[in-house]
Homo-oligomer: A and B are copies of this chain.
Amino acid sequence: MGHDGASGVEPGTDGGQKSSVSEDLDLRAINTIRSLSIDMIQAANSGHPGTPLGVAPVAYALWNDVLRYDPADPLWPSRDRFVLSAGHASALLYSLLHLSGVSAVGEQAAEDPRRKHAVTLDDLRTFRQLGSVCPGHPEYGLTSGVETTTGPLGQGLANSVGMALAGRWLAARYDRGAELFGFDVWALAGDGCLMEGIAAEAASLAGHQQLSNLCWIYDRNQITIDGSTDITFTENVPERFASYGWSVVEVADANDLSSVRAALESARAERSKPTLVIVQSHIGFGSPVIDSPKAHGEALGPENVAKTKEALGLPLEDFFVDPRAEEAFAKGLRARGEAEHRAWVESFNAYRAAHPDLAHELESLWAGRLPDGWDADLPAFEASTKGEATRASSSTVLNALSQRIPWLVGGSADLAGSNKTWLNGEGMGTMSPEDPGGRNINYGIREHAAAAVASGLALCGLQSYWATFLIFSDYARPAMRLSALMELPVLHVFTHDSIGVGEDGPTHQPIEHLASLRAMPNLWVFRPADSNEVTEAWKSALSHRHGPSLLALSRQNLPVLDREQYSSASGAARGAYVLAEATGGAPSVLLLATGSEVALALEARSVLEAEGIPTRVVSMPCLELFAEQDGDYRASVLPPEVRARVSIELGAGLGWDRFVGDAGEIVAMTSFGASAPASDLATHFGFTTETVVAAARRSRAIANT
C-alpha cells in the first residue's frame, strides 16, 4: 500500500503497534462507538448490534491510527477509501463518522450535486427513520463519508477492487512524481461477504492485478444468521486467499489493539499484493448475547443494552459521548489527516503550476464532469442497406470517445472481441501491474465482479464501462442495481441483444431482459436501431451523469438508415421519435419498434402504405428518456387519437401495453428462443413483415370498432 511514511503523526517504532493517542483514549473511543451503536439500534428498535460491538476496536484502530483521511474534507481526492462491505453494521460507521467529525459536503449550496450530510448526534437518534441521514444500510450520496452503498453482501468488496484499480490508475496517469494519488482502499467484511460468489471473483481479480493498495479486513466472528459458520462455511479462508495471490495476516483477538494495528500496518507496507487481515472477533462483544446469532439482527432490548454498558464500564445514559472519545479522534485521525491534507494541497498547487492541463483534467474528473469537447468527434455513419451490427458501430463510437475522455476505462468479461469494446488507440494499453495506467480492463469471466468494479471505478471519478452479452446481465444484476441506486454514470454495454444471437440457442438469447431491466429505477436502457442511433445512444448515456445507462446492441448487421429519407437520428436524444411519417401526415396506424425491429417496422410500413394505410414508424431507443419528455412532445410522437398501434420488439412483451393501448397489438417473444440461424428464428417466432402487417390490420379493426 502507499503513503506509510507520509503520516503527520510519528508512527509507532514497533511496527505501528502503538496508538497515536493513548490506551485510555483508545478504550474510551472504542466503547463510545459501541454504546452509540447499540443506542441507535435500540432507539430504532431495529438493526444489527452484533458486528459494531465485536469489531469496534478494529474499525477504531483503522480510522484513528492508519487511515489517510481528513474529516474536514471528506472529498479529498487522495483520501484512503473505507468501505463497509458488511453494510448491516451501519451503526458502526455512523458512530465513527460522528465521533471523528466528518464534515458535510456542499451544504451551503442546495444544488451542489455532491451534497452530502454530516452525521450529528441528533442524526444518530433518527437511525432508520424516514429522511434520516443514517438509514438502515449506508447510502452513497446521502451521508458524508459513506464511500459506497452497501448491504447486499459481497458488493462492497468488489467495489473496493474497482477503487483500488482507480487509485493505481490515477497515480499512474497523473502523479508525475507528485504522489497525488496512491491512496489505499480498506474494506471491512464478515463471513457473509466472503461466502458470496462476487467476493470470490473480485478477490481473484485483485490478486491477479496485484493490488497492493487494497486491504480487506475479515471480521471473522463465525456466526451468521442461521448459526455457527460450522453449519456451512468451513473452507480454509487463509489458504483460499493465498491461492488468489494475496498476503494473509491473522489477528487472534479483535480487542488486541496492538496486534490489530500491526496487521493493518503490514497491509499498508505490502508492496506486491493485496492483503487479507483476518480478525477473530466476538459478535455482540460485551453484551449478554455474545457469540450468538441473536446478536446479529435485532436490537438488544433495553435490559441488555444496560447490561452491555455496565459490562463495558459505560454510563447508562442514552447516546452518551465521552469527551475523551472525541479527543482521541482529534488527536489521532483529525490531526494526522489535517497535516497530510495540507501537505497534499501544497503538492497539488505545485503540480497545477507544472501541469495546468492535467490539473484541469483532474478538476473535471473530481467534479464528475466529462472534459470539454468530449463529444466533438462522434462519428456519423453513411446510409447502407448492408449495414453493420450496432456492436460494431458502438466500437467506432467508443474508440472515438476514448480519445476525448482520458479517464474512460473499461473492458469486457472475456468477450472483448464479441462485444467490440476494446480500445484500440495508441497507448491505450491494458490495465495490469506492469501497465497500471492502461485503459483496457480484462475483467475475466466474472460478470458480477465486473459490474461492481465498474461502480468502484466510477466512485473514484473514472468514466467506467464493462461489457458482456445481454443474457449475462443476469449474472450482474445486484451490482447493476447498486449502480442505479447510487446514481453512478456507469455504462453497461451488452451485445447479442436478442434471438438474433442465432445458433447459440436459448441459453444465450435474452428474452425477458429488456423488460426486466426497464423495470429497474434510475437505469436508462438504450436499444439503438442503427449505427447513427448508436452514436446518439452513447451521447445520451454519457450525458446522463446521475445514473447508469445500458446499451443493448445487436450481434447481426442492421441497415444504416438513410436519414435523408427518414428523420435524423438526433431524435433518439428524446428517447423516441417519428422516424418515418405516414404519407399525408395523418397516420392511421403507428408502428413502434426498437433496435433491430425498426427496420422490420419500416418494411411493414411499405406494405401497409401500398395498401393505402398511412403508417407512421416510431423508433423508441430509450423509453426512460421518452418518459422524461414533456406531454406535448410525447403526444406528438404517439397521438392519443391514433389507437391502432403495433409494438415490435424481439423480447418479452411485458410493458408494451403502456404504449400500444387497448386497441394495440404486441409483436413479442412469448417463450424462450431456440438454436438455429437467426433468419430461421425470425420466421419461426413470427418476426416477419407479414406478422407485423397482420397485427396492424387487427389493431385497426379493433380501433375502428
* Partner-B contacts on A (CB < 8 A): 44, 46-47, 87, 128-132, 135-137, 139, 149-153, 191-192, 195-201, 204-205, 207-208, 224-226, 231-240, 242-245, 293, 412, 414-418, 430, 442-446, 448-449, 471-472, 474-475, 477-478, 481-482, 484-485, 502-508, 511-512, 515-522, 652, 654-655, 657-658, 661-662, 669-672, 674-677, 680-681, 684
Contact = CB atoms under 8 A, between A and B. Distances in A.
A421 to B, nearest CB: 11
A445 B675 contact: no
A215 to B, nearest CB: 18
Contacts of A482: 507
The 10 closest A-B CB pairs, nearest first, are A197-B197, A516-B516, A151-B507, A135-B675, A200-B200, A512-B519, A130-B676, A239-B243, A136-B505, A657-B657
Contacts of A191: 445
A231 B430 contact: yes
Contacts of A204: 195, 233, 235
A226 B151 contact: no
A244 B239 CA distance: 9
Nearest to A293: B417
Given A224-B444, A511-B521, A516-B516, 8 more contacts: A128-B675, A135-B675, A152-B475, A195-B445, A207-B234, A472-B478, A521-B670, A522-B671
Contacts of A522: 671-672
Q: Which of A204, A443, A445 has the most CB of B within 10 A?
A: A445
5 contacts: A136-B507, A139-B505, A197-B446, A516-B517, A522-B672
B87 A225 contact: no
B658 A192 contact: no
Contact of A128 (B46, B412, B477, B676): B676
A136 B503 contact: yes
A150 B485 CA distance: 32
B481 A151 contact: no
Contacts of A449: 197
B516 A512 contact: yes
B520 A516 contact: yes
A461 to B, nearest CB: 23
A680 B226 contact: no
A199 B672 CA distance: 25
A384 to B, nearest CB: 24
A276 to B, nearest CB: 12
Contact of A192 (B442, B445, B681): B445
Contacts of A502: 46
Contact of A235 (B235, B245, B417, B443): B245
Q: Which of A197, A474, A511, A681 has the most CB of B within 10 A?
A: A197
A503 B444 CA distance: 36
